A and B are shown apart, each in its own frame.
Chain A
C-alpha cells in the first residue's frame, strides 16, 4: 500500500485542476463536494498506509524512496521526486488530511454566499497539495517546494477578499516576512549540501555524525539557519508579526493554514532534523528560548485583544512557542504530540469563532457579543470543549501534551545552561496561566454575560447549519480523546512517543558522539510527575477563576483596571508592544526611503534610464549626421559606386 503514497498529494491537485479550470461553469453543489472528495481520498489512503506501517516492526517502519524519479542530476548532485513514509510523516499526513477534510466540509457552509466560491476551493485544495508534498518529501529540495508552495497559498488565501486593502496588505506582509525565513531555510540547505554532498534526508542524517563535529560551528550555523526558516513559517519571535494580520482571510483559512497545518511546518521541520539539532546544543538552546519567549509574549498580547480571531491568532503563536520549547529541550516527539492536539482544538476554536461571525453578520469584536450560548448551543459547547482543551484541563487533549512539555522542560538537562530547563518550565507555566485566562475571557465575553449585540444583528441570530456544526463536533470529540494516545504515566498507554521513536535518532547519535554516555532513561518518579501535572492543572484553574471573576462576576472591573494605574502598561500590550511600529521604523521605512531616494531616483532614473537613453541618443545623433548621404539623386549614388569600384581596383593594383 505504501508504494501508492504519491497518490496522496495527487488527489488534491486533481481537485485543483477540475475546480480551477471548470469551476466557473460548475454549479456550487458540485464544487464543494469535488474538493472534499479529493481531500477525503487522500485522508483514506493515508489512513490505510498508516495501518500498513503500523503492522511492521518498529525498526523497519522507515520506508525511504517509495517512488524515486530523478528530478535533476548534475555530476554528484541529484534530487529525486521521492516520498518518505515513516512514523513522523504519517502523523503529519493523517493530521493534515483529516483536519483539512473537516475544514473543507465546514467551508461549504461558511462560504456558500461568496462569489469566489470556486476560487476558494481551488486554492484550498492547492494548499493541501503543497502541504502534503512538504510533509511527505524525502529530500530537502522537495520539502522546500512544498514549503514555498504553502507560503504562496497562504498569500492567496489571506488576500482572498482582494477588494479589501487590509486583506491584500496582510497577504503581502505574510509573504514578505515568510521570505526572510525562507532565505534562512535555503541557506541551511546550501550548507547541508556543501558539507554532506546530498539532500536526501536519510543520507544526510546517516552522514551527519561523521561529517560534523558535535557542537561544531558548521552544524550550529546550519541548524540556526534552518531554525530561522522555522521562525518565519511558524510565526515565532522575531518573525511572528504576519500571523495576527493573516486573520484578514476567511475563517476556514485561518483554521486550516494559520492554526492547524501550515504554521506547524516549522515544528515538523525541526523535528524532522532532530539528528542535526541534537548535534548542535547551542542551536537547541536557542530554539527552546525562542519558543519560551514566544509562548509568554504572545500570550500576554492575547489577554488584551478584543477581536476574537486575533485572540486565537496570538494563542496560536503562543502554542507554537510551546512546541518549539519542547523541541528545544530535546523532546521532539512531545512537540509533534502538541502539534497534533493543537491542530484539533485550534481548528475547532477558529471554526467556532467563524460560526459566531456567521451568526453575527461578520462581527469580530467581542465587546459586541455576549450571551450567545442560548442562541448557538452547538457552537457554544464545542467552543467550550476547545477552550478547556487548550487551557489544559484533564482529560482533554491539550492537558496531556502541554503538561508533558512542561515536565520535559523541568527535567531537561542542559550542558550549557544549568538552570535552563527550570527557567523554561517557569516561563511555560506562566504562559499556561495566561492562556487559561485569555481563552476563558474570550468564552465569557462571547457566550456569557449581557448581550451587547447590535439590535439589527440580534434579530437574525441563528445557529449555523449542520454542515458547519458537524465538523465542530467531530473536532470537539478529537479534542477530548486526541490526547489519550500519549498518557505519559502509564508506559503501555504512552503510545505516541513510542510510535515516533524510530525517527528520533538524535539522542542515540549524540550519546555515540559524546563517548558512549548512555542516553539516560529519564527517571520516572511517578508521584513527582503526577505532582507536576497537578501544579499545571491548578495553574490553569487559577487562570479560569480570574477570568470568571473579571468577566462574569464584575464585568465593569476590567475597564476600571485598565483605566487606572495599569493604563500605560495595558495600552502597550493592547498595541502589541508596538513591535509592528518598531519594525516599520527599523525596516519598512528605511527600505522605502532607500527605494525611493536611491533606487528609484538615482539607480533607475539616472543610471539605468541614463544608459538606455544615452545609447538611443547616440544612435540618433549618428543617424542624423549620416542621413545627409541619402540625397535622393540617383547620380550621386552612381558616383559613389564608381568611386568605390575605383578604390577597390587601385587597392588591388597597389597590392600587386
Chain B
C-alpha cells in the first residue's frame, strides 16, 4: 500500500491548483471548475484518512460534499448563464459592481 503522505500531497497539489485557478483565471466557467477541483481535493483527503484510520466517517462526509457540489453546480451554472445573458461576457473583470 502506498503511504498516506502520497495521497495527501496529491490532494494538496490539486487543492493548490484549484486555488490558483480561482485567483488568476478570468473566465467565470473556469473559476467554477477550479472550485470543483478544490472540492474534489478535499474529498480525496477525506477518503485517504478514512482508509488509514479505518473508520467510515470520512466517506460519509464525501457523500455530503458530492451532494452539495451537485446542488452548487445547478445554482452556479444558472448564475453564470444569467451573467452571460445580461453582460454578454463571462469575464469576471468586467463584472465589478461590488465596490464603493
Which residues in A have some Cβ–Cβ distance to B below 8 Å?
Answer: 627, 630-635, 637-639, 642
Contacts and interface: CB of A to CB of B under 8 A. Distances in A.
Q: How large is the interface on B (under 10, 10 to 19, 20 to 34, 35 or more residues)?
A: 10 to 19
A627 B97 CA distance: 14
Contact of A631 (B22, B23, B92, B99): B99
A453 B95 CA distance: 90
A442 B3 CA distance: 123
B84 to A, nearest CB: 15
Nearest to B97: A632
Contacts of A630: 98-100
Contacts of A639: 23
Contacts of B100: 627, 630
A632 B93 CA distance: 9
Contact of B23 (A627, A632, A642): A642
Contacts of A631: 96, 99
B85 to A, nearest CB: 19
A635 B96 contact: no
B98 A634 contact: yes
Given A632-B99, A638-B22, 18 more contacts: A630-B98, A630-B100, A631-B96, A631-B99, A632-B96, A632-B98, A633-B96, A634-B95, A634-B96, A634-B98, A635-B22, A635-B23, A635-B24, A637-B98, A638-B23, A639-B23, A642-B19, A642-B23
Interface string B27-63: 0000000000000000000000000000000000000
Contacts of A634: 92, 95-96, 98
Interface in B48-100: 92-93, 95-100
A638 B98 CA distance: 13
Contacts of B92: 633-635
A229 B92 CA distance: 79
A62 B100 CA distance: 78
Q: List 3 A-B pairs, minimum CB-CB distance, nearest first.
A: A632-B99, A632-B96, A627-B100
Contacts of B95: 634
A634 B28 CA distance: 10
B93 A633 contact: yes
27 contacts: A627-B100, A630-B98, A630-B99, A630-B100, A631-B96, A631-B99, A632-B96, A632-B97, A632-B98, A632-B99, A633-B92, A633-B93, A633-B96, A634-B92, A634-B95, A634-B96, A634-B98, A635-B22, A635-B23, A635-B24, A635-B92, A637-B98, A638-B22, A638-B23, A639-B23, A642-B19, A642-B23
A532 B3 CA distance: 130
Contacts of B93: 633
Contacts of B97: 632
A638 B23 CA distance: 7
Nearest to B25: A635
Contacts of B23: 635, 638-639, 642
Contacts of B22: 635, 638
Interface centre among A630, A635, A637 (most CB of B within 10 A): A635
A630 B99 CA distance: 5
Contacts of A642: 19, 23
B16 to A, nearest CB: 10
Nearest to B35: A638
Nearest to A628: B100
Contacts of A633: 92-93, 96
A639 B22 CA distance: 9
A637 B99 CA distance: 11
A634 B96 CA distance: 7
A383 to B, nearest CB: 81
A19 B93 CA distance: 72
Contacts of B24: 635
A633 B25 CA distance: 12
A33 B6 CA distance: 104
A447 B19 CA distance: 108
A638 B99 CA distance: 14
